[in-house]
Amino acid sequence: MTVNTGNEAPDMAAFLLSPEELRQRRNTKWNQFPPDVIPSFIADMDFRVAPPVQAAILQSVEREDYGYQMRDGAKADRMLAGAFAARMEEAFGWKASADLVLPVSDLVQATYAAILTWSGPGDGVILQVPNYPPFRETLQTTGRRLIPLHMDERDGTYVFDLDRLETQIDANTRIFVLCNPQNPTGRVFSRDELEAVLAFAEKHDLLVISDEIHAELIYGDRPHIPFPALSPAAAARCVLLNSATKSFNIPGLRCAVMYFGTPELKAAYQARIPLRLTGSVNSLGIDATVAAWTQGQPWLDAVLAHLRTARDHLCGRLASELPGLRFHPPEATYLLWMDCSDLGIQGSAGDFFLDRAGVGFSRGEDFLPGAESRVRCNFATSLPILDEIVDRMVAALRSNAR
């Protein structure tokens, strides 16, 4: 994937932030826990932002340009829609239509809105488990029934079983929520797996909400395939969610997109959810996202190279020094899903590492009730910080064994 910016890939060392610099920021990751805790939970990277993104923001700041925004003679959100369509073709060879893009400020908000549009109270919604916790909260808040599609460990990876799912659904199942790449397991689903999801959705007349926010954070040879790109039939029953926030580390700028596979889907959504209800997107977020998608590839290339090194370094140390820890190196994302069942920990592994090691992982039970033995580690940081995390884990487990 290339974007012609005329820039060379930057030296990633210049973009790594020290713990001191990170603690001076006002973000959740480095301020939720006491200063003696190393945070490794929320999906936020410890890197400086891409230079084109920073330049786009500074341009508005220096001009004090905070009024109602237009770009190229149209509303600013149309520039965002065009940039998304161009990025999808450049990155994945998928010709998305800018006319079917709806900018939104938040993908959790978009998930709520889509579920409210295409299901009613008591209806079933298929959701991969474990899953990003707000997905489950969405179903609980709106009174929908969660139908779990378990990500089972098999042959050194995580897979789902649609045959077993057949026994769990009923005539009131309306939606299939797909997360690809999957959070927290880090799977990138193959074309065959996605085709199987499509066949299942067609058989049971389901809408597919495809969260693809980690699509540009892939390490292996398997390409990411946007769900609507599978076929016209896939597009006809898909609402895709995406954003530059994960790949370019700008979640606080509150800018994302919903993509409707057909005009009919977009019309159905707008008939149910008035545009005024979800509001407009921050103009700084639009400028930053457009800069990321059109000029940020050299920075992202450097980030991916560093993340691959960090993943391999972390997995290597964990396999060597904590052989009882079970995990599968992720194919995408910067998140490692770990099973601590054989480490002699009583109760929540997340609580154990926080209290005994001073490491703040995401707790497994937040992704799947009953998964207290699991934790999710964010490895989007420097190697010295990762080494300190492993050192603290090893010391805490040795002390616990005594």
Characterize the bridge pairing of strands 173-179 and 157-159: unpaired
What is d(CA 108, CA 162) in angstroms, rounded to the nearest whole number? 25
pLDDT at position 104, please?
Answer: 96
CATH of the domain at 365: 3.90.1150.10
The pLDDT profile of the chain, 402 residues, written as one tens digit per residue, is 333 344 556 778 889 999 999 999 999 999 999 999 999 999 999 999 999 999 999 999 999 998 888 888 888 899 999 999 999 999 999 999 999 999 999 999 999 999 999 999 999 999 999 999 999 999 999 999 999 999 999 999 999 999 999 999 999 999 999 999 999 999 999 999 999 999 999 999 999 999 999 999 999 889 999 999 999 999 999 999 999 999 999 999 999 999 999 999 999 999 999 988 888 899 999 999 999 999 999 999 999 999 999 999 999 999 999 999 999 999 999 999 999 999 999 999 999 999 999 999 999 999 999 999 999 999 999 999 999 999 999 999 999 987
Within 8 A by CB and 6+ apart from 187, the residues are: 151, 157, 158, 180, 181, 330, 331, 332
The verdict on residue 68 lying in a domain is: yes
237 and 358 co-located in one domain: no
- Are residues 291 and 301 both part of a single domain? no
pLDDT at position 31 is 94
pLDDT of 2: 34
For residue 152, the domain's CATH number is 3.40.640.10
Q: Residue 272 falls within a domain, yes or no?
A: yes
7 within a domain of the structure (yes/no):
no
- Domain match, 332 and 363 both: yes
Task: Mark whether 248 and 390 lie in a shared domain.
Answer: no
Clarify whether residues 123 and 210 are in a common domain: yes
Segments forming the whole domain that contains residue 230: 55-295
**Residues 46-77: pLDDT tens digits?**
999 999 999 999 999 999 998 888 888 888 89
Select from 295, 314, 331 the last residue of a domain: 295
Residue 389: both structure tokens together: 């995390």
Instruction: Tell me what pLDDT residue 9 has.
Output: 62
Boundary residue ending a domain (295, 330, 356) = 295
pTM of the model: 0.94
* pLDDT score of 5: 41
Q: Are residues 60 and 185 located together in one domain of the fold?
A: yes
169 with 302, same domain?
Answer: no
Same domain, 194 and 270: yes
Q: What is the pLDDT of residue 7?
A: 53
| Long-range contact pairs involving 74-80 (C-beta distance under 8 Å, separation at least 24) | 76/281, 76/283, 76/286, 76/287, 77/103, 77/280, 77/281, 77/286, 79/286, 79/290, 80/255, 80/257, 80/281, 80/286, 80/289, 80/290
* 303 & 287 share domain: no
Is 256 inside any structural domain?
A: yes
What is the model's pLDDT at position 334?
Answer: 98
In total, how many domains does the chain have? 2
Asked if the structure places residue 129 within a domain, the reply is: yes
Please say whether the beta carbons of 255 and 289 come within 8 A: yes
Region for 276 from its dihedrals, namely left if φ exceeds 0, alpha if ψ lies in -120 to 50, beta otherwise:
alpha
- Helix, strand, coil in percent for the chain, rounding step 5: 45, 20, 40
- Report residue 125: phi and psi, to 5°: -130, 120
* Domain finish residue from 244, 274, 295: 295
- Within-domain flag for 3: no
Q: Are 73 and 163 within one domain?
A: yes
pLDDT tens digits, 202-245: 999 999 999 999 999 999 889 999 999 999 999 999 999 999 99
pLDDT at residue number 351: 98
